């Protein structure tokens, strides 16, 4: 089997193991939908003009949340667990190329992220009448690809700063939850004054959210590409990749 | 010994900060041999083995494993070795068979999964998920994964630590089976009886140094090398005049260490028969591997 074949085989095995844990799989999918329903109830759901309703905000924003959870959070937690359980060390002693192992993890994470995008988009279209931006597929797919790749790289980089498996949820949440709150994902901060929007503009989450918002907004003209946002996301992705290459560890810390 | 050793180590050194974990270790392990690295916890066994596996970088010295420098051996090297680390995990949600298949797929000439299951005694639980197994069964999965690639050389780092006696016997049978198939095995252990039961040759390591090398038999005979003759005499009997004779620690018996037990025993029994004296509790004991081990490791003894 060639190396690409080995990487794809890893994806298949990762998927098999993932679906064998039904509780984890169920909540991976239920979680974003639950948030979507709650936010829509709190903030008014489908009332108002198209483009300005709460659901018009929360459909793309929950897509962003789902993609970040499925890539960044998932990779940071599962790769840390694999490291602490000695799985990474075992792989390192086998002929499997290390990148093929990580490609397997990333491939599985990205495929779950894509499935979530489809589910959230369908959920928004069916229950809240938020139209799927079919005419902007190139921009949508490009944004998703850049964001998924970048957040996977950042998730890998973060593992280097997580000392052990038990600390993983705390560290990951401490990094990502504040960003989700200040980055147009859980709360609309577009138009807010002061230092908070300035801070959130430094980080990739808001740029991802705003790029998705632009694609989903029916008032946007044209193909809805957001090169300015994508450049920031990609820059963070490259930083994550550099950190991962520099600091990534294959051996358990304890 | 074969002219092309499986493992050749010269002057190996490795420090962690100020701790010298391995100091000037020389070892040569022949192809097809089961070699045990025996020593107390913290003696440097795992460090030495992990350097051979390519998991750690050495600070100095020469290491050739199957002709490769393990630090630079890469994939071609890893295709020919199997590693069973002290503690490693596998995905808990895959079955035993799937786990073995997964790893077997990384190697160019894997061992048939059924054969791996058979060798490790996992056939009956092949369809169970790893998280449903007992601790001992999980450890056998570790071994099974190490065998999946049909390695020429297998590293076993404390393969039976934590096993109950029955499970240990079974693991030993597996190792003997592999030896019969021609696999070279380097194992570390702090169990003397394990080294004695499995190893063709062994080295005792303490404080990062090899303090003795030999077969389980020859190592037992070294140390001060002497057999000990013990006996008691009826009350009031004067002791024979034999060089080296001493009162045993408990006072009631005599002890005599000798490098030539046949001759010494002959002299002693000749003396007793001549005088019609019964030698009470007469025994001759050869120093065991354990005595040698304890003497060589300064009683740091295994746990």
- Closest-CA residue of chain B to A254: B87
Q: What pLDDT, on the 0 to 100 scale, is given for residue A138?
A: 96
Please choose, from the candidates B193, B189, B137, the residue with its C-alpha nearest in 3D space to the C-alpha of residue B167: B137
Question: What residues of chain B, 35 to 54, have a C-beta less than 8 Å from chain A?
Answer: 53-54
Give chain A positions within 8 Å (CB) of B55: 89, 92-93, 251
Place of tokens 């602490």: A84
Q: What pLDDT, on the 0 to 100 scale, is given for residue B220?
A: 67
Share of chain B above pLDDT 70, in %: 93
Q: What pLDDT, on the 0 to 100 scale, is given for residue B300?
A: 53
Strand, helix or coil for residue B53 = helix
Q: What pLDDT, on the 0 to 100 scale, is given for residue B162?
A: 76
Please choose, from the candidates A151, A148, A156, the residue with its C-alpha nearest in 3D space to the C-alpha of residue A117: A148
B86-97: pLDDT as tens digits: 876 899 999 999
Give the residue, B295 or A75, on which the prediction is more confident. A75
| Cβ A233 vs Cβ A147: under 8 Å | yes
DSSP state at residue B130:
G
- Report the residue of B53, B105, B153 to disrupt the A interface, i.e. the one with the largest count of A CBs within 10 Å: B105
Strand, helix or coil for residue A234 = helix
- Report the residue of B51, B81, B98, B106 to disrupt the A interface, i.e. the one with the largest count of A CBs within 10 Å: B106
Q: Does B79 touch chain A (CB under 8 A)?
A: yes
Count of CB atoms situated within 10 Å of the CB of B21:
21
Q: How confident is the model at residue B221 (pLDDT cuts 50, 70, 90)?
A: low
Please choose, from the candidates A69, A70, A71, A42, the residue with its C-alpha nearest in 3D space to the C-alpha of residue A58: A42
The verdict on ipTM greater than 0.85 is yes
Q: How confident is the model at residue B301 (pLDDT cuts 50, 70, 90)?
A: very low
CA angle B120, A16, A252 (to 5 degrees): 65
- CB contact under 8 Å between A94 and B102, yes or no, is no
Chain A: give the shortest CA distance to residue B157, in Å. 13
- Report the residue of A83, A89, A164 to disrupt the B interface, i.e. the one with the largest count of B CBs within 10 Å: A89
- CB contact under 8 Å between B107 and A95, yes or no, is yes
The arithmetic mean of pLDDT across residues B281-285, rounded, is 84
Token output for B44: 């440097």
Q: What pLDDT, on the 0 to 100 scale, is given for residue B106?
A: 96
Q: Does A13 touch chain B (CB under 8 A)?
A: yes
Token output for B151: 């390695």
Strand duo B60-65 + B19-29: pairing: unpaired
Q: Does A6 touch chain B (CB under 8 A)?
A: yes
Q: What pLDDT, on the 0 to 100 scale, is given for residue A146?
A: 97
Please list the alpha-helical segments (H only) found in A95-136.
98-128
- CB contact under 8 Å between A16 and B87, yes or no, is no
- Closest-CA residue of chain B to A101: B106
- CA–CA distance, A18 with A108 (Å, rounded to integer): 9
Q: Does A253 touch chain B (CB under 8 A)?
A: no
- CB contact under 8 Å between A93 and B149, yes or no, is no
To which H or E segment does residue B141 belong?
A: helix B135-147
| Cβ A240 vs Cβ A150: under 8 Å | yes
Q: Does B55 touch chain A (CB under 8 A)?
A: yes
- CB contact under 8 Å between B88 and A92, yes or no, is no
Q: Is the pLDDT confidence value at B223 over 70?
A: no
Q: Does B65 touch chain A (CB under 8 A)?
A: no
Question: What residues of chain B, 119 to 138, have a C-beta less than 8 Å from chain A?
Answer: 129
- Report the residue of B49, B54, B93, B147 to disrupt the A interface, i.e. the one with the largest count of A CBs within 10 Å: B93
Q: Does A254 touch chain B (CB under 8 A)?
A: no
- CA–CA distance, B64 with B41 (Å, rounded to integer): 25
To which H or E segment does residue B246 belong?
A: strand B245-247
Q: What pLDDT, on the 0 to 100 scale, is given for residue B2?
A: 47
CB environment B242-264: b (16+ within 10 A), e (fewer): eeebeeeeeeebbebbbeebeeb
| Cβ A121 vs Cβ A209: under 8 Å | no
Q: What pLDDT, on the 0 to 100 scale, is given for residue B16?
A: 92
To which H or E segment does residue B22 belong?
A: strand B19-29
Count of CB atoms situated within 10 Å of the CB of B174:
19
Partner residue opposite B83 with nearest CB, options A13, A21, A93: A93
User: Which residues have a Cβ under 8 Å from the Cβ of B295 and sit 6 or more positions away?
Assistant: B223, B224
Partner residue opposite A87 with nearest CB, options B78, B83, B89: B89
- CB contact under 8 Å between B88 and A89, yes or no, is yes
Place of tokens 């056939």: B123
Token output for A170: 């705390």
- Report the residue of A20, A25, A103, A164 to disrupt the B interface, i.e. the one with the largest count of B CBs within 10 Å: A20
User: Which residues have a Cβ under 8 Å from the Cβ of A30 and sit 6 or more positions away?
Assistant: none
- CA–CA distance, B152 with B156 (Å, rounded to integer): 13
Q: Does A85 touch chain B (CB under 8 A)?
A: yes
Bridge partners, residue A101, by sequence: none
| Cβ B232 vs Cβ B252: under 8 Å | yes
Question: Could you say which residues of chain A have pLDDT below 50?
Answer: none
- CA–CA distance, B109 with B79 (Å, rounded to integer): 9
Q: How confident is the model at residue B173 (pLDDT cuts 50, 70, 90)?
A: very high
Share of chain B above pLDDT 90, in %: 54
């Amino acid at each position: 089997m060639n190396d690409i074949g080995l990487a794809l085989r890893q994806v298949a095995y990762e998927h098999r193991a993932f679906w064998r844990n039904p509780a984890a799989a169920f909540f991976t999918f239920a979680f974003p939908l639950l948030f979507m329903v709650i936010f829509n109830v709190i903030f008014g759901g489908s009332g108002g003009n198209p483009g300005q309703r709460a659901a018009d905000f929360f459909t793309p924003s929950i897509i962003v949340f789902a993609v970040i959870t499925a890539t960044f959070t998932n990779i940071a937690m599962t790769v840390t667990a694999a490291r602490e359980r000695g799985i990474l060390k075992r792989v390192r002693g086998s002929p499997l190329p290390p990148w093929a192992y990580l490609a397997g993890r990333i491939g599985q994470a990205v495929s779950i992220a894509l499935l979530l995008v489809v589910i959230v988009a369908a959920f928004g279209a069916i229950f809240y009448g938020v139209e799927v931006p079919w005419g902007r597929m190139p921009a949508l797919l490009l944004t998703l690809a850049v964001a998924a790749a970048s957040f996977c790289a950042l998730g890998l980089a973060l593992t280097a700063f997580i000392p052990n498996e038990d600390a993983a949820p705390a560290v990951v949440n401490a990094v990502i939850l504040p960003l989700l709150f200040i980055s147009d994902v859980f709360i609309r901060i577009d138009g807010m004054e002061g230092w908070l929007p300035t801070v959130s503009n430094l980080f990739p989450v808001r740029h991802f959210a705003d790029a998705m918002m632009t694609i989903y907004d029916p008032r946007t003209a044209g193909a809805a590409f957001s090169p300015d946002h994508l450049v920031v996301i990609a820059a963070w992705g490259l930083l994550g990749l550099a950190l991962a290459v520099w600091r990534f560890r294959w051996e358990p810390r304890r | 010994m074969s002219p092309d050793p499986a493992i050749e180590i010269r002057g190996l050194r490795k420090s962690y900060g100020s701790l010298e974990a391995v100091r000037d270790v020389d070892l040569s392990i022949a192809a097809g041999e089961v070699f045990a690295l025996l020593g107390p916890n913290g003696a440097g066994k795992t460090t030495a083995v992990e350097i051979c596996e390519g998991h750690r970088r050495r600070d100095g010295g020469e290491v050739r494993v199957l002709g490769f420098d393990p630090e630079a051996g890469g994939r071609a090297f890893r295709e020919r070795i199997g590693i069973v680390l002290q503690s490693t995990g596998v995905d808990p949600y895959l079955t035993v068979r799937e786990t073995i298949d997964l790893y077997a797929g990384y190697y160019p000439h894997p061992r048939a999964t059924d054969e791996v299951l058979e060798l490790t005694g996992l056939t009956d639980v092949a369809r169970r998920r790893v998280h449903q197994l007992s601790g001992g069964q999980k450890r056998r999965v570790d071994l099974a994964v190490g065998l999946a690639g049909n390695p020429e050389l297998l590293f076993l780092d404390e393969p039976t630590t934590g096993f109950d006696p029955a499970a240990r016997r079974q693991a030993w049978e597996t190792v003997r089976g592999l030896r019969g198939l021609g696999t070279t095995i380097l194992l570390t252990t702090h169990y003397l009886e394990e080294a004695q039961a499995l190893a063709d040759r062994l080295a005792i390591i303490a404080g990062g140094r090899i303090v003795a090398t030999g077969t389980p038999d020859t190592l037992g005979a070294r140390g001060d090398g002497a057999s000990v003759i013990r006996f008691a005499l009826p009350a009031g009997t004067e002791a024979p005049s034999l060089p080296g004779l001493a009162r045993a620690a408990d006072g009631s018996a005599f002890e005599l260490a000798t490098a030539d037990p046949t001759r010494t025993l002959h002299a002693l029994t000749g003396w007793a028969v001549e005088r019609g004296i019964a030698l009470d509790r007469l025994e001759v004991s050869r120093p065991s591997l354990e005595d040698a081990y304890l003497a060589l490791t300064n009683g740091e003894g295994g746990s």
